């Protein structure tokens, strides 16, 4: 198995160190594709090494998505490994990556990581621990560092890049080509978009060791306030685009059912062959399904027609496993739609979902036993026609919280 490490670079200052991290690997069947671009001058490895292949990117290529795509096209290995030009791999990383891909079911492998400062000294900054991040301080390649433990690659965590915002990330070449590779038009979040598409195709494997050291400096993408704000906004756009398909793929790989709830009065979507339709009684909603057997529940234009809302939430919680995804869309009281239909029995807006996710509000519903986490919450108009009629919707994607790995983000329950 050959590993193709690829590195577009517009600044060659740290490439010698990156090469050193590759040359010290115990796994030797690798090549390194270095694609120089921008103001980068000619560079060559400190010692002659046929495994290092340096090319100059055509001037027509603009943006990181286009450059990474071009670098991958030059690679010949079965596994593609991304290495940024100012970062490096820890010892034994390539061997760990090769071992991960010994399973044919794995399409992506990702690892824990640590941060260093611009001068190579340890960086001990932490992500917000209340959002689920955990760290272990210890020696990595002889240096005391904070190892950040990557999260589970669940649909929610992949949708928001919670599982591994930093490297190492490696992917199987055949799957990369199947999903169309890097989007050459993306100026940022090229990895996020690609990895969401890869997740739909197969499983991700967490390498539970620190394989990557990321250099933190003033020109990191996340350090530039304007760029970071755009990244945060676009991350949510990508999440909304892929979350349903990722959740359905996750459920299928685990043999879980996917259902769409409806009531006897049905005003919802057209038939969807990806789901089994299940009709619930608005007064006594119950689901004749086994506990933790349903990976995705889709509930559009239904919550408003079920008066026994506490029982419905308890039932959905019962049949779903940890990390499953409940997709809901409901006419919101922030528009006219919530009150225009005389058949509606319950009323929702964004604030309503606080009562189903926060412990402090549980006394309001003494029969409520479920425990959900908010994955996504917004108010929007589904179409120009809805906006013209003033029919706003609240979209709430919920995660059942049971025994299982932490899902990233604020856990309010």
Sequence spans of domains, the chain: 3-250, 255-400
Cα 220 from Cα 206, distance rounded (Å):
25
Q: Are strands 30-36 and 3-9 parallel, antiparallel or unpaired?
A: parallel
Cα 148 from Cα 156, distance rounded (Å):
19
| Helix 225-253 and helix 190-201, axial crossing angle in degrees, nearest 10 | 0
**Model pLDDT, residue 412:** 59
**Model pLDDT, residue 220:** 56
3-state secondary structure of 20: helix
Cα 177 from Cα 168, distance rounded (Å):
20
Strand ranges for 230-281 from DSSP E: 257-262, 276-279
CATH class assigned to 3-250 = alpha beta
Contacts 24+ apart (CB under 8 A), 16-20: 16/45, 16/46, 17/88, 17/120, 18/83, 18/85, 18/86, 18/87, 18/88, 19/45, 19/46, 19/49, 19/52, 20/46, 20/88
Q: Tokens standing for 267? A: 């005003």
Is the peptide bond preceding residue 168 cis, with omega within 30 degrees of 0? yes
For 255-400, which CATH superfamily applies? Vaccinia Virus protein VP39 (3.40.50.150)
Full pLDDT tens readout for the chain, 413 residues: 999 999 999 999 999 999 999 999 999 999 999 999 988 888 999 999 999 999 999 988 888 999 999 999 999 999 999 999 999 999 999 999 999 999 999 999 999 999 999 999 999 999 999 999 999 999 999 999 999 999 999 999 999 998 888 899 999 999 999 999 999 998 889 999 999 999 999 999 999 999 999 999 765 555 566 677 888 899 999 999 999 999 999 999 999 999 999 999 876 667 889 999 999 999 999 999 999 999 999 999 999 999 999 999 999 999 999 999 999 999 999 999 999 999 999 999 999 999 999 989 988 999 999 999 999 999 999 999 999 999 999 999 999 999 999 999 876 54
Q: What is the model's pTM?
A: 0.94
Cα 173 from Cα 356, distance rounded (Å):
43
């Amino acid at each position: 198995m050959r590993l193709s490490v690829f590195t577009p670079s517009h600044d060659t200052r740290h490439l010698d160190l990156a090469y050193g991290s590759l040359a010290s690997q115990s796994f030797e069947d690798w090549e390194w594709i270095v694609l120089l671009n921008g103001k980068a001058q000619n560079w060559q490895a400190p010692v002659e090494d046929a495994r290092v292949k340096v090319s100059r990117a055509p001037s027509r290529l603009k943006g990181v998505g286009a450059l990474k795509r071009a670098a991958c096209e030059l690679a010949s290995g079965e596994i593609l490994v991304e290495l940024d030009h100012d970062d490096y791999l820890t010892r034994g990383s390539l061997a760990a990556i090769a071992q991960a891909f010994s399973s044919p079911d794995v399409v992506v492998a990702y690892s824990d990581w640590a941060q260093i400062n611009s001068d190579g000294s340890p960086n001990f900054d932490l992500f917000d621990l209340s959002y689920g991040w955990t760290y272990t301080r210890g020696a990595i390649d002889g240096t005391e560092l904070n190892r950040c433990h990557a999260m589970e690659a669940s649909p929610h965590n992949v949708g928001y890049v919670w599982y591994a915002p930093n490297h190492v990330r490696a992917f199987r070449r055949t799957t990369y080509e199947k999903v169309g590779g890097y989007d050459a038009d993306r100026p940022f979040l090229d990895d996020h978009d690609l990895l969401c598409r890869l997740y739909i195709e197969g499983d991700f494997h967490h390498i539970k060791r620190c394989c990557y050291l990321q250099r933190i400096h003033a020109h990191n993408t996340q350090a530039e306030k304007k760029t970071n704000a755009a990244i945060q906004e676009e991350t949510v756009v990508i999440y909304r685009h892929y979350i349903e398909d990722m959740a359905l793929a996750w459920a299928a790989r685990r043999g879980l059912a996917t259902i769409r709830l409806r009531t006897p009065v049905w005003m919802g979507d057209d038939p969807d062959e990806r789901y089994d339709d299940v009709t619930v009684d608005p007064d006594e909603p119950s689901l004749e399904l086994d506990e933790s057997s349903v990976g995705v529940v889709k509930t559009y234009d239904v919550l408003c027609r079920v008066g026994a809302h506490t029982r419905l939430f308890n039932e959905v919680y019962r049949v779903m496993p940890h990390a499953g995804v409940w997709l809901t869309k409901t006419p919101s009281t922030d528009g006219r739609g919530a009150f225009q239909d005389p058949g509606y029995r319950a009323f929702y807006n964004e604030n309503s979902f606080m009562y189903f996710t926060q412990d402090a509000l549980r006394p309001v519903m003494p029969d409520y036993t479920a425990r959900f986490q908010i994955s996504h919450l917004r108010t929007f108009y589904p179409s120009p026609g809805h906006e013209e009629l003033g029919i706003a919707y609240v979209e709430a994607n919920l995660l059942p919280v049971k025994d299982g790995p932490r899902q990233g983000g604020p856990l309010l329950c």
